[in-house]
Amino acid sequence: MEKTLDRKFREVHEWSMKYYCEDTPEAKALSLGYNAAVSDEARRIHRDSIIIDTCSFSLDGYDWHLEQAGLTGINCTVIGTKDSAGESIRNIVDYVSVIDNTPQLTLILKADDFSKAKKEGKTGIIIGSQSSQFLHHNDIESAVEVFARMGLRVSTLAYNWRTFSADGCYSGSNGGLANDGKILIKAMERYGVTVDLSHVGERSTLEAMDVCVKPPIFSHSNPLALNNHPRNITDEQAKKCAALGGVIGVTSFPVTLWEPGKPFPTIENFIDCIAYYADLVGVDHVGLGIDSNANAGAYERRKVVMLSHTTNSMQGQQSLGFISNEAGRGILAAFPDGIESLANIVNIVDHLLKRGFSEAEIKKIIGENWLRVFRATWQQ
């Protein structure tokens, strides 16, 4: 019996729910299987390096994801895209409680904390936000100071849609930076919060970088030149970020590595993005911004429902998930082949070696570049 269109969309939602909200044996076996052929050299580099990823979410403890990842630090989306100031405070308390009650985790507040975490064999957690809306206040500077005192260290200006400070990359208007956005950036730099421009509209990012004195970042943004997707950024944006000493994090989020008509994304497409930025702006300005669950199956179910609904409404049968499901790939569409989860960072190292990157270059890409920016933007 032929499946109805509604049934096909339900199937896409079902495997999305399974990937993000369940710690399945299938996903674990797939992820660990990708690491089976990794070279001894890649494992040594992975073991010995400071490794920082600037985009993750859904932390509720320490599991095989983080154990295999070997991360020294990870920027977690503690404050959600639509959270109020009150909800943001609650989220920070929740995360700090998880960190305090998990021996393998530690809170990152200063750049020197990364070295301490590495020495102690712990994963450091950076409190981050993927919106600035929670900072909307008559006294923006005081709002930033309060949240910085509570541990906020990285924040975007907008998440896809317009905020009080800047336009989002999906807004369609490509509006510029608001005057409040200029006030916000100056306050963030004063109180040691890194300015993140991922998900922000093109014009707003360029105008924001005119205001920045300290290095800004794109925590998880791929090259528009390789894949035409609104989440990706232009060469001009990347060059301007690098000129200010900033870093662009390459993300494994599948739609940013793909466009209709192309083969399904793999780790090779991810490495293509790293190589592209290395050629465009230099290896000192490239990092990892993987954009994956910190813990297996820890994503909130209601958020997956919202994500599925939004994707179906905006992209319909042209979405990667729908096309992948039609091809019988199911859960394989959740992330590119070779990067099923954070556990596959060692596989990224292996593929960087195969592309001809030196050990020194790889160490910069997987952590040292981010460490340099955080030293420059945080209060020490």
Q: Which two tokens stand for residue 119?
A: 């020495």
Q: What is 49-297+340-377's CATH topology?
A: TIM Barrel (3.20.20)
Average confidence (pLDDT) per 10 residues, the chain, 380 residues: 74 79 88 96 98 96 96 97 94 97 98 98 98 96 98 96 93 92 98 98 98 98 96 97 98 90 92 98 98 88 75 72 75 82 97 98 98 94
Q: Give the pLDDT of residue 37.
A: 94
Strand partners, 266: 337
Q: Phi-psi category of 338—alpha, beta or left, where left has phi over 0 and alpha has psi -120 to 50? A: left
Per-residue pLDDT at 2 = 60
Phi, psi dihedral angles at 126 (to 5 degrees): -100, 130
**Helices 235-243 and 267-281 meet at what angle, rounded to 10?**
60
Q: What's the pLDDT score for residue 1?
A: 46
Q: What's the pLDDT at 379?
A: 87
- Which residue type is seen at 304? V
Contact 348, 288 (CB under 8 A): yes
- The pLDDT value given to residue 314: 67
Contact between 317 and 89 (Cβ < 8 Å): no
Dihedral sign from CA coordinates of 212, 213, 218, 224: positive
Domain residue limits, the chain: 49-297+340-377
